[in-house]
């Protein structure tokens, strides 16, 4: 279709994207927190926003359900990034993808002993690759959220999840033991749209680039 479709997830990505949209002269017509609509218009008749799960943003853009989207690097690492052009680190939704364990679990010694670890996560691919690269044998348990619970109920030795303030880990007597990656959200673009809608996309990309602070430009995380 003509015009531009932008895939965003509700919550922090939508909220942190608002100023970027504003820089491109785009104002959402409705608030996705209060509206049940999945397609939200904007002040610009040719631009619309679709509201999808954070982990589905790359899939919608890859398959042409949206021309562009904004997704965390964690989500993109897990998706694999195939069929997507990733021109811009937006520096928003910053966090770190970490391995965490119970405070009373000696991770370093378990790794040294060559123990087989149970790891609960929604990031199966990322976790598999991370532990394989370290030569650590793992049994992975797929979860969709509240990963912090798994070690507390004896279901896993470790989790792989994003950490920002560290409050969730602390509140659940967990401790981060390894960083897998520094995360922020990136603009992703459908490869066909990039060719067919070059001018519209360039306008949006230039506006986003003007007001964003990429992770690389600011290596000190809060
Ligand atoms: P889904 O609904 O697909 O399971 P989700 O609930 O993880 O996704 P959000 O919590 O909105 O979705 O997170 C969106 C993105 O924001 C994540 O992919 C990650 O990059 C980043 N993020 C997640 N948690 C935090 C946090 N506590 N602080 C900062 N950024 C975060
Ligand atoms: C994310 C993540 C952690 C938490 C980390 O959850 O899954 O649980 O944030 O942030 P902190 O280090 O600042 O405590 P979120 O708040 O997005 O909840 P959800 O994944 O259940 O939506």
Tell me if domain 4-93+184-217 and domain 95-182 are identical in fold: yes
Neighbours of 35 (CB within 10 A): 13
What is the CA(132)–ligand 2 centre distance, in A? 26
What is the CA(161)–ligand 2 centre distance, in A? 8
Helix (H, G, I), strand (E, B) or coil at 54: helix
Is 164 close to ligand 2, i.e. is its CB under 6 Å away?
Answer: yes
DSSP conformational letter for 121: E
What is the CA(196)–ligand 1 centre distance, in A? 31
| Number of Cα atoms under 13 Å in the Cβ half of residue 127 | 23
Do residues 120 and 157 make contact, with C-beta atoms less than 8 angstroms apart? no
Atom of ligand 2 at shortest range from CA of 12? 17
Q: Delimit the domains of the chain by residue range.
A: 4-93+184-217, 95-182
Atom 28 of ligand 1, nearest CA residue = 164
Task: Report the CATH fold assignment for 95-182.
Answer: D-Maltodextrin-Binding Protein; domain 2 (3.40.190)
Do residues 152 and 172 make contact, with C-beta atoms less than 8 angstroms apart? yes
Atom 20 of ligand 1, nearest CA residue = 72
CATH 3.40.190.10 matches 4-93+184-217: yes
User: In the chain, which ranges are continuous DSSP H helix?
Assistant: 12-23, 57-62, 73-79, 107-113, 124-134, 149-152, 167-171, 191-196, 198-211
Atom 29 of ligand 1, nearest CA residue = 93
Atom of ligand 2 at shortest range from CA of 163? 12
Atom 17 of ligand 1, nearest CA residue = 72
Low-confidence ranges of the chain (pLDDT < 70): 1, 217-222
Atom of ligand 1 at shortest range from CA of 163? 27
Those residues whose C-beta lies under 8 Å from the C-beta of residue 118, and which sit 6 or more positions away, are 138, 139, 141, 155, 156, 157, 158
Is 165 close to ligand 2, i.e. is its CB under 6 Å away?
Answer: yes
Do residues 93 and 12 make contact, with C-beta atoms less than 8 angstroms apart? yes
In angstroms, the CA 193 to CA 69 distance is 12
Atom of ligand 1 at shortest range from CA of 54? 3
Which pLDDT score, from 0 to 100, does residue 150 have?
98
Helix (H, G, I), strand (E, B) or coil at 126: helix
Which pLDDT score, from 0 to 100, does residue 18 have?
97
What is the CA(201)–ligand 2 centre distance, in A? 31
User: Residue 37 is encoded by which pair of tokens?
Assistant: 């609509």
The string of pLDDT tens digits covering residues 78-89 is 999 999 999 999
What is the CA(162)–ligand 2 centre distance, in A? 7
Which pLDDT score, from 0 to 100, does residue 1 have?
59
Which pLDDT score, from 0 to 100, does residue 217 have?
65
In angstroms, the CA 199 to CA 1 distance is 15
């Amino acid at each position: 279709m003509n015009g531009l479709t932008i895939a965003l997830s509700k919550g922090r990505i939508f909220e942190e994207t608002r100023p970027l949209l504003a820089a491109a002269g785009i104002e959402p017509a409705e608030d996705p927190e209060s509206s049940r609509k999945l397609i939200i218009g904007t002040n610009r008749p040719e631009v619309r926003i679709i509201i999808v799960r954070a982990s589905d943003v790359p899939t919608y853009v890859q398959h042409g359900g949206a021309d562009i989207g904004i997704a965390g690097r964690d989500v993109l690492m897990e998706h694999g990034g195939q069929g997507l052009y990733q021109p811009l680190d937006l520096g928003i939704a910053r966090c770190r993808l970490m391995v965490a364990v119970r405070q009373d679990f000696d991770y370093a010694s378990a790794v040294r002993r060559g123990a087989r670890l149970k790891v609960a996560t929604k990031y199966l691919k990322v976790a598999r690759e991370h532990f394989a690269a370290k030569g650590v044998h793992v049994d992975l348990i797929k979860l969709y959220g509240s990963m912090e619970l798994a070690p507390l109920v004896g279901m896993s030795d470790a989790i792989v999840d994003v950490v920002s303030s560290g409050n969730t880990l602390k509140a659940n007597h967990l401790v981060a033991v390894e960083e897998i990656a520094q995360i922020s959200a990136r603009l992703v673009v459908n490869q066909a749209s990039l060719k067919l809608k070059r001018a519209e996309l360039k306008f949006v990309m230039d506006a986003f680039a003007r007001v964003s602070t990429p992770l690389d430009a600011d290596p000190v995380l809060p």
